[in-house]
Structures are given as C-alpha cells and as structure tokens.
C-alpha cells in the first residue's frame, strides 16, 4: 500500500469570505450582499504543482509568488462580489491599480521607513547587530500599530473575523 505524502492546505481571508488552496485547485467562497454564498473553483497552473517546488530556495520563491498572485486574484474577485450591492462593478483595472498601490505602500511602510528610521540612530550605534535590532524593532512596532489602526475599521474587522474562519477551515482538512 502506497502512503500518500501529507499535503498542507493553505488559504487566506478575503472580503466577506475565504480562499483555500488545495493540491490541484484553488477555491474562493464569498458572501454576497443578499446573504448567499458565491463559490468559484479553478485548477492550479503547472508552476504551482511542479517538481520545482521540491528545490529548497526555488520552492520559497514559488510559494511567495503564488501567495501574491492567488491572493490578489481572490481579493479582487471578492471585492467584485462584495461591491454588487451598489449595482456597480469596480473596473478590474482600478482594482489592479489599488492592489499595486497597496504593495508600494506596504513596501514603503514596512521596509523603507524602518530602514530610514534606524539610520537616524546609526551615529549613536557602533554595532551592526544593535542597528539591525533597532530596525527590526521599528518594523515590528509599525506593524503592530498598523494592525491596531486598520482594526478600527468595521470592514477590516470583518476580514479579521474571516481570517479566523479561514484557519478553522484549513484545520478541518
């Protein structure tokens, strides 16, 4: 009897729903404004399943790209479903523009800003280790502050709740 290697399912919260990535497919379930669930399932492209995923460094790069691409597509899909209540769909180009601007903002806030703030203290710090600790502490502080601030928005609170649902769903498998 052949034992099948354990597969780690993954997922993420989306607007009013969850996305799950399985062995061969990715599925997104979103609650429409009328309360009904809208579910879509698509097969994964070959790069997400191929032999390259077994090479340690390459595997990490593929997973990072996969998470960004699949996650962004799932978020854009859920935004379209959630915006249906306004009887006006958000243009796909606008959604991709928002996604790109969000990535630029995140890089600026969590990578560039901590580096610049840490450099302000470089004249007082003689150790690279301490400099890196300052930069890391600033990065963690900004991240915690960011989560606290965005958590004040009701829509984001819902996404956080769906994040918990996503963990429960993945754990069920």
Q: How much of the chain, in percent, has pLDDT values that exceed 70? A: 88
State the pLDDT at residue 121. 87
State the pLDDT at residue 112. 94
State the pLDDT at residue 161. 86
Better pLDDT: 74 or 89 = 74
When mean pLDDT is compared across 46-50, 140-144, 162-166, the lowest value belongs to 46-50
For the beta carbon of residue 115, count every other beta carbon within 10 angstroms: 12
Q: How confident is the model at residue 171 (pLDDT cuts 50, 70, 90)?
A: confident
Above 80 in pLDDT, residue 91?
no
How many residues does the structure list for the chain?
A: 173
Stretch 152-160: mean pLDDT, rounded? 87
- The helices-and-strands tally (H runs, E runs) of the chain is 5, 4
Instruction: Name the residue ranges covered by the structural domains of the chain.
Output: 9-90, 92-160
pLDDT tens readout for residues 12-62: 899 899 999 888 889 999 998 888 999 999 988 776 667 777 788 888 888
Please give the structure tokens belonging to residue 160: 């956080």
Q: What 3-state DSSP class applies to 136?
A: helix
pLDDT tens readout for residues 124-137: 888 889 989 999 99
Paired strand residues for 52: none
């Amino acid at each position: 009897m052949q034992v099948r290697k354990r597969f780690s399912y993954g997922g993420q919260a989306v607007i009013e729903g969850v996305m799950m990535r399985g062995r061969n497919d990715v599925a997104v379930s979103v609650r429409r404004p009328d309360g009904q669930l809208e579910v879509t399932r698509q097969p994964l492209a070959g790069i997400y399943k191929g032999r390259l995923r077994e090479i340690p460094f390459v595997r990490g790069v593929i997973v990072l790209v996969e998470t960004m691409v699949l996650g962004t597509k799932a978020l854009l899909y859920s935004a379209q479903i959630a915006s249906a209540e306004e009887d006006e769909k958000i243009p796909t180009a606008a959604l991709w523009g928002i996604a790109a601007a969000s990535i630029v903002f995140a890089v600026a806030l969590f990578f560039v800003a901590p580096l610049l703030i840490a450099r302000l203290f470089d004249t007082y710090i003689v150790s690279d280790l301490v400099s890196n600790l300052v930069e890391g502490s600033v990065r963690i502080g900004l991240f915690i502050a960011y989560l606290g601030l965005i958590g004040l928005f009701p829509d984001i609170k819902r996404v956080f709740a769906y994040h918990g649902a996503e963990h429960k769903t993945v754990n069920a498998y």
